[in-house]
């Protein structure tokens, strides 16, 4: 499956390169240069996030994580995961690394799904820094309230589907 995704991404990149080349060689060259620079900037962050999640997982006391976020933590564990996801700052390297560390540390799959869903939907810093200045306050309120049940629904669906 991973090879299919990789192949699809490479096909998209090649198609975009061909489109850029058909417009001008300068556009192709500039696009390749900017993409390479972005890759160079992003790789250390990804590496730190992945390695850091391993350290976090090793340092987290499994009995504490299992108690508060384990499969048997119930609705309390889901609430803790949702609040944690909402309060987690940063991009995917941080959010998914913490989720991976929590799984390794004994957290339940539904709790981690609730965490990552809450992080993706309503990270507080993103709401304050991006949504509130750009959208009307009513729009932000409606989006946030409409999103509130979604991490819990995602966790419930995960529980119905069974263990991964």
pTM above 0.85, yes or no: no
Q: How many CB atoms lie within 10 A of CB 80?
A: 17
Question: What are the residue ranges of helices labelled H in 60-108?
Answer: 62-69, 74-87, 92-104
DSSP secondary structure code for residue 148 in this structure: T
- Which string of b and e fits 51-64 if b means at least 16 CB within 10 Å? ebbeebbeebeeee
The full set of domain ranges for the chain reads 2-56, 61-161
- Tens digit of each residue's pLDDT (9 = 90 or more) over 26-75: 999 999 999 999 999 988 888 887 787 777 777 878 888 888 998 889 89
Q: What token pair was written down for 23?
A: 């417009």
> Which range is least confidently modeled, 12-26, 109-123, 150-164?
150-164
Tokens 């529980």 belong to 159
Note the pLDDT tens digit of each residue in 129-148: 989 999 999 999 999 999 99
**Are residues 140 and 127 in contact, defined by beta-carbon separation less than 8 angstroms?**
yes
């Amino acid at each position: 499956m991973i090879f299919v995704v990789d192949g699809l991404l490479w096909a998209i990149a090649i198609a975009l390169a061909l489109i850029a080349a058909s417009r001008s060689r300068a556009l192709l060259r500039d696009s390749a240069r900017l993409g390479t620079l972005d890759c160079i900037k992003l790789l250390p962050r990804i590496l730190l996030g992945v390695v850091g999640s391993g350290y976090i997982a090793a340092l987290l006391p499994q009995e504490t994580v299992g108690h508060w976020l384990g499969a048997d933590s119930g609705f309390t564990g889901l609430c803790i995961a949702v609040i944690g996801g909402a309060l987690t700052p940063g991009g995917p390297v941080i959010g998914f690394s913490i989720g991976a560390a929590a799984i390794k540390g004994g957290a339940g799959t539904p709790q981690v799904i609730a965490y990552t869903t809450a992080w993706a939907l309503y990270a507080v810093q993103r709401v304050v820094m991006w949504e509130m200045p750009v959208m009307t306050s009513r729009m932000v309120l409606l989006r946030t309230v409409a999103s509130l049940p979604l991490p819990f629904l995602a966790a419930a669906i995960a529980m119905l589907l069974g263990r991964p």
